[in-house]
Each structure stands twice: as C-alpha cells, then as structure tokens.
Amino acid sequence: MTHGATTSRSRPHVVLGVSGGIAAYKACELLRRLTESGHDVTVVPTASALEFVGAPTWAALSGRPVATDVWTDVHQVPHVRIGQSADLVVVAPATADLLAKAAHGLADDLLTNTLLTARCPVVFAPAMHTEMWEHPATQANVATLRERGSHVVEPAEGRLTGADSGKGRLPEPGEIYAVAVDLLARRTARTRDLSGRRVVVSAGGTREYLDPVRFLGNRSSGRQGFALARTAAARGAEVTLVAANVGLADPAGVKVVHVETTEELQREVIAASSGADAVVMAAAPADFRPRTESGSKIKKSGDGTTPTIELAETPDILAGLVRDRDARGDAQVVVGFAAETGDDNGSVLDHARAKLARKGCDLLVVNDVGGGAVFGSPDNEAVVLSAGGEAVPVPRGSKESLAHVVWDQVAALLDVPLGQAPS
C-alpha cells in the first residue's frame, strides 16, 4: 500500500492537528496561510480544542469537513485513513498533554490515532506555560519525539495566558508555516543531516550612530540570514542567530540574539561560535563608523555650512573568525556573504573571488546587488564560491532554496576529515 498521496493529487495534503490550548485561535491564521498557498488541509481538533474554536470556523477556513472524532464516517476508517493520506502533519498548538500522548503512543482520540498512522513528516509547535515546558517530563517527551524524527520546534518567549510571561508561547503562525513548507519541499531529501551540529548565523545590517537619532547603515533586511537559520533548524541543527536591526519574527526553534552595532555583532558572533561546527556570516556589517558620536542631535548651522564626519573602519568580523579558527586548528566551517557590483576594475565574480582569497573562508555566497537587487526581496539568486575554486550558480528562487544549497555544501565539508579536501 502506498501511504503518500502526492502521486494521485496535485496539491500536498496537510493535516492540521489542534489541541486544547488558548493559542488554538492562532492556528486559524496558520490554516489560512496553508489553504491560500494551495495546500489541501484537513483539520483534526481535539475535543478540548473545540472549546476554544468551533468546528464551523475550521470548516469555513479549510473548505473541508472537519474531522472531530473516530465515530464520524466510520465506514471510511478515519482514524487510519487521515494519517495514511497525509504528506505532512502539523500540530499547533501542541499542549503538554498532547506531547505526552504522542511520545507514549496513546491513541484515545482522532488526532492521536492520526499521529500513529502517519508515515510523513510531523511537526509539533508547543504552547504552554513556562513551568510546564521546563518540567522534566515534558522535556523527556520532546526528546523522545525528536529521537523518532519528529520536528518539535522551540516555543517562543513572550506573553502567556494572564499576566504571565516567559518561554512557552506558540511561535508565530508565519514561522510555523515556513517550517511546514520547507519540510514539504524536502520530504524526499535528507532533512536531518545537521543533527548534532551547532551552527551560528548572522543576519541583518548593523548601524553606526552619528548622534542619538542618525546612523550609517545599509539596506539588508535579514531575510536571507533568517532563512538560513530556519532551514538549519529544520535539518536538525542547534542554531544561534545573531540578528542586527531586523523587523522579522524570530524563527521557530532558534536562539536569537539581537544587536545593533558592528562591535556588538562581532562580540556576540565570537561568543556564540565557540565550539560551533559552522558559522555563516549573512549579516551586512557596516564597513565604516563615525570616529566620534555626538551625544546630542547634530543641528543645522543656519549659515549653510555642513559638518564634516570623519570615518573609521569597523572590525572585519569574517576575517577574524577565519584567523581564530586557523589558530585553533579545528574543522569549523566558515561561510561569508558578498554583496557585489561590477565596475571598471572587474566583474561581480572577479571582485568576489578576490574577496574569498582575502578573507580565507571556506565558502562565499555572492549576490549581484546592482540596482538594489536582493535587498528586502523574498527571492534571491547567487553563486556559491568555494576555496577549492568551484562555483555553484543558484538560479532565482526563494531564499530558503538558496539556504539549502549553502547547507548542502556546509554538510559536505563537515563530513570531510580535517586536513583532507572534499572529493
């Protein structure tokens, strides 16, 4: 019997499980994103979930009947067929009770039966109070599910029920959606090849202040760095993301450190990279900073004269990471990014190859940013250069697609013993 249904359907079939937590209302937004992007979604709420959001809401948003118990349409054997036909199961929110049942193989309702029969990727998005998340029983259940191949995203930190705040908040629907789409795109590939690896990613653009209200900066949105962090987590890595001045929701399952200046970025990346298997510098640090920062807002003179701003170079974070790695003599993989434009002195790739040699990193991801391309866009195209001289062009596509190409090459380098060249 073939359990996957994509051979007979043009649209991926997603089962959205909803357990009984106050965050159940957020699953409505996740459902909307899935259906509007062309996915065929069956909603399977628990009885407790229906106390928060009723079946008519799920039916209206999904355009399909809602499966609520094992006794409805018994002749279709829903407790078996729903899981068998799924290309992906997402449980959001996943309560402590639901995680415990899934870890121990209990099947006392339609959702837990579906989890036992599914042979596709399964994503759990936990939501509960901090004390419940941190309890040893919950942590043991999460560890068990991850060992079996399920994707349990880390809960977010923030406001919980009532006045409480802490870790346990349901990740934003957009982040859960991104994890789901990524897993569907890679369901036939090795999705956990970074398990057991620690990686550091930087993202965004740094700011160097002229005065309390003005700064030197750049147009980096941080989207590519966030895509790298998100896809690394989906492939099993423990990820630290150092984010500079971004307006994006924190990726699910990723530790995020927020910074502003190049000096702060350097300090946090160095701290996070200690013992890491790979560091990917996707951030765009400012190359210069004002030599002095005014303690008050710089005013217009009124006589037509303008102030002179003396600049100083900021630290070269990428080159410093390579020097530190080489001094230690370990096998850490270091990846840089280069936003380049061609000029009279050479093409984009000419400048990029010179930068790769100058920095000494293992891989350099090159973007042609002539005319402002790439910045803020959901898409990207690039060429990935390696220290061995290879050039891998990546055609225009999602930033997640480019991220996977980068991680494919990082994973290949991590598999090579120290001192040997990859075949």
Tokens of 49: 């979930």
**Which residues, 6 or more positions from 299, have their beta carbon under 8 angstroms from its beta carbon?**
none
Q: Which of 142, 275, 139 is nearest to 198 (CA)?
A: 275
**Alpha carbon of residue 58 to chain centroid:** 27
Neighbouring C-beta atoms of residue 411, cutoff 10 Å? 19
The per-residue b/e assignment along 30-44, b for 16 or more CB within 10 angstroms, e otherwise, is bbebbbeeebbbbbb
Tokens of 43: 């909603």
Point out which residues pair with 280 in neighbouring strands.
201, 335
Q: Which helix (H) or strand (E) holds 208?
A: strand 208-209
Question: With contact defined as beta carbons under 8 Å apart, do 68 and 110 qualify?
Answer: yes
Q: C-alpha distances in angstroms, 317 versus 278, 323, 345?
A: 15, 10, 25
State yes or no: is 218 an active-site residue: yes
HEC string of 18-78 equals: ECCCHHHHHHHHHHHHHHHCCCEEEEEECCCHHHCCCHHHHHHHHCCCCCCCCCCCHHHCH
Q: Active-site residue among 141, 218, 245, 367?
A: 218
How many Å apart are CA 272 and CA 324, to the nearest integer?
Answer: 13
Point out which residues pair with 13 in neighbouring strands.
40
Can you list the alpha helix ranges (DSSP code H) found in 216-347?
223-234, 262-273, 317-328
Neighbouring C-beta atoms of residue 266, cutoff 10 Å? 21
How many residues are there in the chain?
423
Question: What stretches of 264-375 adopt beta strand conformation (E)?
Answer: 278-281, 288-290, 311-313, 333-340, 363-368
Question: With contact defined as beta carbons under 8 Å apart, do 280 and 406 qualify?
Answer: yes
The per-residue b/e assignment along 295-320, b for 16 or more CB within 10 angstroms, e otherwise, is eeeeeeeeeeeeeeeeeeebebbbbe
Active site residues: 218
